[in-house]
Amino acid sequence: MIYARVAGTGSYLPGNPVTNDDLVARGIETSDEWIVERTGIRSRYLAAPDVTSSQLAYEASLRAIEAAGCKPGDIDLIIVATSTPDFIFPSTATLLQARLGIVNGSPAFDLQAVCAGFAYAISTAEKFIRSGGTRRALVVGAEVFSRILDWNDRGTCVLFGDGAGAVVLEASEAPGILASAIHADGSHNPILCVPGQINRGEVTGDPFLRMDGQAVFKFAVKVLADVAREVADLGGVSLDEVDWLIPHQANIRIIQATGKRLGLSMDKVIATVSRHGNTSAASIPLALDEAVRDGRIQRGQKVILEGIGGGFAWGATLLQF
Ligand code: ACO
């Protein structure tokens, strides 16, 4: 049996933290108290105007590759989950491949599932490894969400930030990923979207993120609890045996409500949203990397990663670290 095992993790946040009070100082009609009470977010990172997702992905990938004890040339698959690619094309994954100096002809592609992007990408990479053709996959979530925020819409602009996280997955006889599940329901498209496009050289429609926050909240809590149970069942593990839950870092109240629905104490839930806000596809690997590097997540422990995003799309992975 070939497993896909996490060999190394890495992450990167650009520049300095921007606090809630910094946003107030920039003229946004909000307060630290409102943001902390409703979301748990205290700060986020905003990339400089010339910094792109592939650059953030590169920094996170270097750290993950180093942690995995391999070299860029050992990577034979790259999947970048992003909704804020550098360009319409080429893909951010091929830009990352070039930056890393990988010239072995191995595949590289982007995956678009918004905040569920990393859950989709790790599940996809696992299937490449299990089928025997891929030895080492670099799976990245990278975003510059600040570019698609309407800074005049205080209901959304305070929630998001920029960043990247990466893991190297490698083929292993020792257990790694035990189960994955991904889902989508396109009927929920309108409650979270960026409904614009480039058409004959012009932006048409609305190029900014729009959200019905309360509808998103309710939907997210339900499916995040359901999909965590689903992967635990598929992996033959009871929720009591799960050491850590790493939910998408959107909002501390969604994270707490999901933990409660699953009967998991917050001691077993990794929450980093207060520091970097919602970084969409980057949020799970950012949280994973922090918990690995600070020693909370140890080899052999069972971890559930789970994400949800616009579409709606959602998914989870149960792994033995
Ligand atoms: N600062 C101060 N006041 C604000 C702000 C702000 N940043 N934003 C909105 N308000 C005001 C509104 O104008 C409104 O004022 P009013 O009562 O005078 O009209 C009031 O606060 C309440 O607004 P609501 O939108 O009803 O606030 P709600 O309690 O629903 O909280 C929030 C909004 C935090 C977005 C909540 O709905 C939520 O957590 N939703 C989950 C959405 C989420 O996390 N999305 C992330 C992306 S989705 C994903 O990643 C899966």
Please compute the mean of the pLDDT values over residues 166-185 and round it to a whole number. Answer: 97
Give the per-residue pLDDT at 251: 96
Say if residue 255's pLDDT is above 90. Answer: yes
What tens digit of pLDDT does each residue of 11-55 get? Answer: 999 999 999 999 999 999 999 999 999 999 999 999 999 999 999
Instruction: Say which DSSP state 101 is in.
Output: T
Say if residue 73's pLDDT is above 90. Answer: yes
The DSSP bridge partners found for residue 79 are 109, 139
Site residues for ligand 1, CB cut-off 6 Å: 30, 34-35, 38-39, 115, 154-155, 158-159, 192, 211, 213-214, 216-217, 220, 248, 250-251, 253-254, 278, 308-309
Give the per-residue pLDDT at 1: 86
What's the CA gap between 80 and 77, in Å, rounded? 10
Q: Which amino acid is at 191?
A: I
Give the per-residue pLDDT at 259: 96
Give the per-residue pLDDT at 136: 98
The DSSP bridge partners found for residue 142 are 164
Q: CB neighbours of 51 closer than 8 A, spacing ≥ 6?
A: 14, 144, 162
Q: Which residue has the tokens 């943001």?
A: 35
Note the Cα 256 to chain centre separation in Å.
Answer: 18
The set of catalytic residues is 115, 248, 278
Give the per-residue pLDDT at 149: 98
Which domains are delineated in the chain? Answer: 3-173 (3.40.47.10), 178-320 (3.40.47.10)
The alpha-helical segments, DSSP class H, found in 174-299 are: 213-234, 252-262, 273-276, 283-293
Say if residue 100's pLDDT is above 90. Answer: yes
- Positive or negative, the CA dihedral 183, 184, 188, 191 is positive
What tens digit of pLDDT does each residue of 212-245 get? Answer: 999 999 999 999 999 999 999 999 999 999 999 9
Q: Which of 58, 142, 60, 67 is nearest to 102 (CA)?
A: 58
The DSSP bridge partners found for residue 319 are 177, 303
Give the per-residue pLDDT at 137: 98
Counting ligand 1 atoms within 8 A of each CB, the residue from 214, 248, 276 with the most, and so the one to mutate, is: 214
What tens digit of pLDDT does each residue of 165-174 get? Answer: 999 999 999 9
Give the per-residue pLDDT at 298: 98
The Å distance, Cα 35 to ligand 1 centre, comes to 9
* CA of 251, closest atom in ligand 1: 44
What's the CA gap between 110 and 245, in Å, rounded? 26
The Å distance, Cα 156 to ligand 1 centre, comes to 7
